[in-house]
Each structure stands twice: as C-alpha cells, then as structure tokens.
Amino acid sequence: MDANEPAPTPLAWAPAARHRVLIIGSGFGGLFAAKALRRAEVDVTVLAGTPHHLFQPLLYQVATGILSQGEIAPATREILRRQRNARVLLGSAVAIDTAARRVTARAPGRTAPYSIGYDSLIVATGASGSYFGHPEFGTHAPGLKSIDDALDLRGRIFGAFELAELEEDPAARARRLTFVVVGAGATGVEMAGQIAELAHRSLRGEYRRIDPRSARILLVDGADVVLPTFGASLSARTKSKLADLGIEVRLNTMVTNLDARSVTLKHADGSEERVESMVKVWAAGVAASPFAAELAAATEAPTDRAGRIQVLPDCTVPGHPEIFVVGDVMALNNLPGVAQVAIQSGQYAAAQITARLQGHPAKPEFEYHDKGSLATIARFSAVASIGPIRATGLPAWLLWLFVHLMYLVGFEQRVTTMFHWAVSFAGRGRAERAVTARQVFGKQVTSTADRDALSAAGRYTPRDDGA
C-alpha cells in the first residue's frame, strides 16, 4: 500500500461473539471451505475480487461460443444465500497484518481500502497465467483464467473469421485465419480442439468469400508430449486425434517472441520459425496470485518457483497455525493445480478449524485422493485417466460430460448447460456467438458513435491488426 494513503477502515459489523473465519477467494477451494463450515459455530466471511464462483475448467467453452458466462459463473451470494453464518464481500486482498489478524482489501469503484479481522484465515486465491518473464506477451495472447479472458478470446476468435471475410490479400486472410495455442496441457488441447470444431464444422457454409475449413491451428509446447500428466499411451492417442482434426502439434518448441502479427518459435534443433497469426491463446504456465507474495513477506513463508506458498503437511503456513493456504496457491507434495486438489484442501482446512473449536483431535496432514483426470479433444472424443482405467473416444467423452455436469453449481446452470451442449454437440450451432465491438476491435471502441467517428477519421484499427 502507498504510505501516503489513509489507513484502511474496518467495516462496521455487529460485534462477533463467535470464531471469525475469513476465506479469501471464491473458487473451488474457497467455496467448498465455506460450505463445509455451514454447521460450525463460526462466522464466515468470503472475500473475493469477483462476485461469482468460476467453474474454470469450462472457460474454453465460453471462449468458443458453446456456453454463456452465467452458466459457469453463478453469483457467490446466490450459492451461499441459505447459509446463515456466511457473508460475501467484494474486494481483492492486498495486505495482511498477522499480528493484528487483519486483512486489507480493495474493491473496484471504491477509493478507500477497508480491513477485515479474522481468527482463522483460509487463503484460496488461486493462480494466474505465467508468461515466463515476458508479461508483454499477454497483450497479444490472452490466457484463460477469468470470464474477461474468455470473452476477450471469443471476440478475437469470431472476429478473426469476420475480418478474414473482408480481406482481399490472401496473405492477410491467411494471417487472420491462423490460430496459435501455446501450451499442450488440458486447457490448450481443449481450446485447440474447439477452434478446430468451429472452423471445420460449426461455421461451415456461413461465409461466402472464405472457407473456414482453411483455418490453420497450431498447438505449441516445450514438452515432448501433449497432456503429460495423463501417461504415455493417452498422450500418444491425443496427439493422433489432434492431427486427425487438422491441428499442427509442435512439441519441443519454445515461444521466443510474440507480437500483434506473429509468433516466433524455436525448435529443438535450434532453428526458428515465424508464424504469422492474429489470434494467439496462452495456456502455458501458472503463477500464484499476487496476494501470495504479500502473505509470504508478512509470514516469511517459503515459496516455490511459481510463487506458491510452501505449507506444512496440515496446509498451514509455518509459524502461523491460524492461516491455511489451499488450492492452486498452495505448494505441497507436488500436488497438481486442479479443481479436486482445491476442493479437498478447502474442505480439509474447514474440518481442521471445526475440530480445533470442538476440542477434537485434528488430522495431522492433508491426504489428497486422486479422482483422476479428464480432458476433451473434440465432439464425442475425450481422454480419461481414473485409477487403473484409461479410456478414450466416446466412453471417455460421456464420462467427461457427466462429471462436469455434476460439479456445476446450481440446478439452473445444469439445465441450461445441457441444452447448450445438445445444440453444439448434437447439432452444429453455437448458442453464444455474440461479441461486442469492444471485444473485437479493442478498448478504444466504447460505442457505435466511437466506431463511426474512428472510421470517418480513418483511425478504425481492429484489435491486434498491427498495421
């Protein structure tokens, strides 16, 4: 915080007679921790930078027009409305005073910071994308960590086809129809697969001057396999299926430069390749949320290379048994940054707090139960690794549908998601293709009048045109 700013003011609440649990973050870890405390004799405050709970594994379907943001991001207040011991606050944690047990937060649209006290703290702030020391890449290659990212990418992807229809120059048209996805983990594979579905199936026959099937899709990763956590057999099958979809898979390949018009790739033999592309998606690398650095500085807790807090076996910060760190911001036993780790560690932290208050023995360490991994490749095609089971194709895809539907929060979200899946997978349509001028052409266009004025002045430059 700026030293010249006034001190944050505590929010006025009725005096709390019960134990105060502050949960920072409304993702899987934070939400499931809050719900696990619904019967505990505590007062729960959920502090989050957005007013919704995000089902992040389906963000790529928002970006490619299958689902709306409301189906994967229900309001946190609505989810917790029946939980009388829970309240929700909008704000991002920016500082912590461990001695006073207070967290300082900022809310968009509110100038003054505010503070919240706690007796127990659960930090579930998640992770953001990492550009491996090149944050400037983010301007031209958005990640896929938030609703804003997904809507930004939706505008870029659908806008690319619209603008390609207007191009006279074949080279410019090819550049607009070249899509580069960086990162061959689950998010990258699913994103590349859905762009291929769009180009080869959903948009077929809708344009008169271009053939969407001519789109070029590249999936790039520095590793030597796709989906490395799924095992060699499933990785090989996934790579083969991606090739069948017309996706160019470039492994052992690093991104050395990225700008508005192109991506520079460095191959294992040291050679470099410049790929002209207007639409880039960054699905490689993660870094802990900014608050992790604040917490580490305040507690002198060790961190790993991604900035995640290295916690004790019971998910607490060394020297601070009142502070739990869960989910993607936690470094423990090389656990992956997946939803199940966040859910189970959030529930574990809640159980530890409850056991302490009731005087019961607490479990000495967090034990993660791996429920397997799932990833879609395209319509009717997925891969599943669950215990000894290795499945591909339609059986894995049906399992993927069932599991993701069950973990969506809210009956309405499940019903509308099933409808949109039927439209997209049984048919060819995409129910959510609407994009705004701001999404397609950049933030300088804020209204139709702005667009017309820029056009009249000859300054109407589409997003990432670079011309």
Distances 294 to 145, 289, 459 between C-alpha atoms, Å: 21, 10, 42
CA-closest candidate to residue 72, choices 83, 80, 82, 60: 60
Cβ-based burial of 367 (10 A; exposed 0-12, middle 13-18, buried ≥19): exposed
| Cα–Cα distance measured from residue 101 to residue 87, given in angstroms and rounded to the nearest whole number | 19
CB 219 within 8 A of CB 192: yes
CA-closest candidate to residue 323, choices 71, 18, 65, 118: 118
Structure tokens at 410: 């809210």
Q: Which of 71, 190, 294, 432 is catalytic?
A: 190
Structure tokens at 333: 């036993």
Which segments of 245-302 does DSSP mark as H helices, in order?
A: 290-299
- All residues at 6 or more sequence positions from 310 whose CB lies less than 8 Å from its CB, including other chains: 301, 302, 303, 304, 318, 331, 332
DSSP 41: S
| Cα–Cα distance measured from residue 231 to residue 225, given in angstroms and rounded to the nearest whole number | 9
- All residues at 6 or more sequence positions from 139 whose CB lies less than 8 Å from its CB, including other chains: none
Torsion-angle region of 374 (φ positive above 0: left; ψ -120 to 50: alpha; else: beta): beta
| Cα–Cα distance measured from residue 88 to residue 25, given in angstroms and rounded to the nearest whole number | 10
End-to-end alpha-carbon separation of the chain, Å? 40
Active site residue 190: yes
CB 69 within 8 A of CB 62: yes
Question: Which helix H or strand E contains 449, and what residues bound it?
Answer: helix 448-456
3-state SS class at 338: coil
Question: Which helix H or strand E contains 392, and what residues bound it?
Answer: strand 389-392
CB 353 within 8 A of CB 120: yes
| Cα–Cα distance measured from residue 182 to residue 279, given in angstroms and rounded to the nearest whole number | 11
Distances 23 to 29, 58, 164, 277 between C-alpha atoms, Å: 9, 24, 47, 42
3-state SS class at 222: coil
Structure tokens at 5: 């700013």
Active site residues: 190
